Amino acid sequence: MAGDRRRQLVDTGIELVMRQRFQDVLASVDTRSLTEAAGVTTGSFFHHFANRGQFADAVAGRFEEVWRAAVDAFVAEIDAVTTEEDLDVRALVRRGDRESIESQEVQGYLFHLLWLTRDRPVSEDTGDTGAEVLQRSHRYLFESVVPAYRRMVAAMGREMMPPFDEHDLAVTMSALVDGIQMCQQVDPALVRDGLFADLVASTFVALTRPRGERAEGVDLASLEARLVPSSLRRRSTGERETWRQIADAAAPLFDDRAVSDVKVADIADAAGVSTSTVYHQFGRVSAVAACGWVQHLPELEAIATRPITAEEGPIVRMEQVLSRFVELGIEHRGALEGLMIEVLHSARREGEDEIATRLLATVSLPELLIPHIRELRTRGWLRRRVGSHALARAALQIVAMRTLATPHDPVERIIDDTFGLVLEGALTGGAGR
């Protein structure tokens, strides 16, 4: 019971602190101590401030002034960014420097005091609450920063990745600033130099993507660098060239032949390597066949990332991606068959098949649909329990199996009969095409 009473007193004390006005929180700084520290007389203080309430209002006003100056400087840095390389050394990155974070200590302290008294008037002389002061500050921040982010994203040839927009980017960056700043003030040793810079660059890249017209310029070398697993990228340059050599040379073998009709010796002869080299790089024929999809990914990615017009929408764009996927599957039947064999390998071994896992990470076709499925979720068109990745994988796998089973059916029928059925089962009643 003694412990409960002690906890009750502590909780009550916290509640009383939270009920205080901003002016009352500043009451611990008495007028005499303030004037002595400033080197002025008490009369000088009351010449500028009729009472302590006016002083509290001035402190809150100074917070807004400093906040706006920091926002203006930040926007100027953002507007200096014109390339992705600039992002690593200018603009946002400078916000992560240790000196910059430390210089915001006063601003951060006042922010938390105002947040603590957010439901109370700042003083008896004003109707503003702490929350209203903070709301004005945040409104100025986002009204200034969001257009600057929009200009920066456009200047860098990128666009926001649905369902995110520039406002989401501003909120995320603001949260990073506040979080890193708090950790820095609590224990400087917690925050390594450059941490915020790394987080900013990673977050920006994660929430944006190249504009649709830029996606057509993606070549196989850059695609491989992004998609091929790190275990393969760590190999020597010669080994990477061998991987490419085998994949490129073998692709025509699977245009009109089933996977079972192609032997490792056929692949080795086409690539001019030994059979042991083929086994070392791929492990089995189906993996070589499936890797033929790497050369088609840039084209599919270009379709998936084209800006959506008012006449289209996420569903139409997914149909366009899958229609081309079916056309390529009909033209390169062995590659599609190899891809599905690797999917089955992965499922049968519950992800323990290293070859299949590595290959499916490389040929990441479901990722082309994910942004559009997330857009459906953002619009409230997707049933809550439907997983984005599960839906993307199911759509591709069922369309692929239908293509293999009835390759002579029109593409439109394959899409409508299979993908349409899967998607319509996942949509809510209010969704439209």
Write the DSSP assignment of 250-315 as a string of letters.
HGGGGSSS-GGG--HHHHHHHHTS-HHHHHHHHSSHHHHHHGGGGGGHHHHHHHHTSPPPTT--HH
Span of 32-41, 42-51, 71-80, 269-278 with lowest mean pLDDT: 71-80
Please report whether residue 175 resides in a domain.
yes
**Is the model more confident about 224 or about 158?**
158
SS3 180: helix
Domain coverage including residue 294: 220-426
Burial class for 236, CB neighbours closer than 10 Å (0-12, 13-18, 19+)? exposed
Please report whether residue 215 resides in a domain.
no
**Is the model more confident about 243 or about 58?**
58
Do 147 and 251 fall within a single domain?
no
Please report whether residue 228 resides in a domain.
yes
Are 407 and 330 in contact, with CB atoms under 8 Å apart? yes
**CA–CA separation, 119 vs 18, rounded Å?**
9
- The DSSP symbol for 123 reads S
Domain boundary among 210, 242, 265: 210
Do 285 and 343 fall within a single domain?
yes
Do 184 and 303 fall within a single domain?
no
Do 206 and 240 fall within a single domain?
no
**CA–CA separation, 75 vs 68, rounded Å?**
10
Are 137 and 65 in contact, with CB atoms under 8 Å apart? no
Q: Within 13 Å of residue 24, how many CA atoms lie on the same side as its CB?
A: 13
Do 299 and 253 fall within a single domain?
yes
φ/ψ (deg, to 5) at 315: -70, -45
Do 371 and 404 fall within a single domain?
yes
pLDDT at 348: 64
Estimate the share of the chain in helix, then strand, then coil, as percent rounded to the nearest 5.
Answer: 75, 0, 25
**Is the model more confident about 84 or about 312?**
312
131-168 residue pLDDT tens = 898 899 888 888 888 888 888 888 777 788 877 888 88
pLDDT at 334: 92
Mean pLDDT over 52-56 rounds to: 86
**CA–CA separation, 125 vs 53, rounded Å?**
6
CATH of the domain at 91: 1.10.357.10
**CA–CA separation, 51 vs 134, rounded Å?**
23
The first and second tokens of residue 189, run together, are 């040793």
**CA–CA separation, 412 vs 405, rounded Å?**
15
Please report whether residue 431 resides in a domain.
no
Question: In the predicted model, what is the mean pLDDT of the chain?
Answer: 77
pLDDT at 324: 92
Please report whether residue 433 resides in a domain.
no
The first and second tokens of residue 195, run together, are 């941490």
Into how many domains does the chain fold? 2
pLDDT at 329: 92
Residue 220 has pLDDT above 70, yes or no: no
Please report whether residue 161 resides in a domain.
yes
Give the closest residue to 292 by CA, choosing from 245, 247, 239.
247
Domain boundary among 187, 210, 233: 210
Residues ≥6 apart with Cβ < 8 Å to 373: 314, 318, 382, 388, 391, 392
Do 204 and 227 fall within a single domain?
no
User: In 311-407, which ranges are continuous DSSP H helix?
Assistant: 314-331, 333-348, 354-362, 370-378, 388-405
Do 166 and 242 fall within a single domain?
no
**CA–CA separation, 159 vs 166, rounded Å?**
9
Distances (CA, A) of 38 to 31, 47, 107, 354: 11, 14, 20, 69
Axis-axis angle for helices 264-271, 275-282 (nearest 10): 100
**CA–CA separation, 155 vs 142, rounded Å?**
19
Residues ≥6 apart with Cβ < 8 Å to 55: 26, 45, 49
pLDDT at 100: 47
Domain boundary among 210, 232, 252: 210
Do 243 and 154 fall within a single domain?
no
**CA–CA separation, 417 vs 411, rounded Å?**
10
Do 357 and 398 fall within a single domain?
yes
Q: Which H or E element spans position 107?
A: helix 105-116
**Share of residues in the chain with pLDDT > 70 (%):** 81
Do 229 and 206 fall within a single domain?
no
**Is the model more confident about 97 or about 383?**
383
Do 92 and 192 fall within a single domain?
yes
Q: Within 13 Å of residue 138, how many CA atoms lie on the same side as its CB?
A: 16
373-411 residue pLDDT tens = 888 777 777 776 777 788 888 888 888 998 998 888 899
Please report whether residue 293 resides in a domain.
yes
Number of residues written out for the chain? 433
Please report whether residue 246 resides in a domain.
yes
Whole-prediction pTM: 0.47
